[in-house]
Amino acid sequence: MRLRKYLVPLALLVASLGAHAKGTGYVFVSSEKDHVVTVFEPGSLKKVKEIQTSERPRAMKFSADHSKLYVACGDDDAIDVIDVASLTVEKSIAIGDDPDRFDISPDGKYLYASNEDEGLLTIYDLGADEVVAEIEVGEEPEGVLVSPDNQRVYVTSEVANIVHVVDASSRELVANIVVGNRPRRFALTPDQKQLWVTNEVGGTVTIIDPASNQVVGEIEFKPKGFRAEDVTPVGMVMTRDGATAYVTLGGANHFAVVDVPTREVKQYVLVGKRAWGVALSPDERTLYVTNGKSDDMSVIDTGSLKVVRSVPAGRVPHDVVVDN
């Protein structure tokens, strides 16, 4: 009887620790020059830890259960895998020359990475721990997005100004869509009817209908006081209801607030120098923007659209993601 008395509290303790390990709310920022991923507490944004990674960490992506954080490290030709519970790098995946961005299939089986120097989309089997295919795409591929139904993989080619569409089953190119100048990253509307693509040099977002692979719209960004060549949209995130998109404008040192249904730019908000990465907090009340040339992260209240603070984030902060 005495043993049973202590078994129940012990089980509760283990369960509570497991629950605490998930949904930490931690904010993760990759620093290209420091070769670290910095971890910040939610709310206070107190620095929790700097995780040493392979060289030049940039793009980051959580596994579906958020137990792992994958980090593309271009100068070491690797994707590091961070254990979120312990905040340590548990292994590095050899993924080919200069992995830029990547995505993970919805079933968690495959990682798709763009190899910028080789003009390839590399497919990595996470279970078998090996590269299983390489698909030739246009020069300097960057953005990668797997459709939620696991049927298509989209890849941007910065030099060709094309979005490539790859059939995930056959691993063959099925369409090439001409977009704006130097396409970078993707966002898919929650209803999956619009695929948005930022065009860094074009200063625009191209909107694609995934059902037809046709361009159906374009959004231009023209913040006051900046030359066209300074307006370089790259990062993008949408609210869960599909009402609002936030687009970072790079050299224009602003992000744009876009009404998704009307495709109208509602406001430009000044942040740091070379606004690049962007992410929302789990409750969508806070927006985080990394500024690569001012070495900080702007923290924005989405209700007022005011910058409430600026946090040092290492040398050349690139991406930001939030555990939820």
Successive 10-residue mean pLDDT values, the chain, 324 residues: 37 38 86 98 96 98 97 97 98 94 97 96 97 97 97 97 98 98 98 98 98 98 96 98 98 98 98 98 98 98 98 98 96
> pLDDT value at position 23?
79
Q: Which H or E run includes 14?
A: helix 2-21
- Distances from the Cα of 165 to the Cαs of 10, 52, 142, in angstroms? 51, 35, 13
Ordered DSSP codes for 115-160? ETTTTEEEEEETTTTEEEEEEE-SSSEEEEEE-TTSSEEEEEETTT
Ordered DSSP codes for 156-204? EETTTTEEEEEETTTTEEEEEEE-SSSEEEEEE-TTSS-EEEEETTTTE
Q: Are 291 and 29 in contact (CB under 8 A)?
A: no
pTM across the whole model: 0.92
The β-bridge partners of 229 are none
CA 92 and chain centroid, separation? 19
> pLDDT value at position 151?
97
Residue type at position 69: L
> pLDDT value at position 10?
39
> pLDDT value at position 256?
98
> pLDDT value at position 22?
62
> Max Cα separation, the chain?
78
Quote the radius of gyration of the chain (alpha carbons, Å).
20
**Sign of dihedral through CA atoms 84, 87, 92, 96?**
positive
CA–CA gap between residue 99 and residue 73 (Å, rounded): 7
Residue type at position 308: V
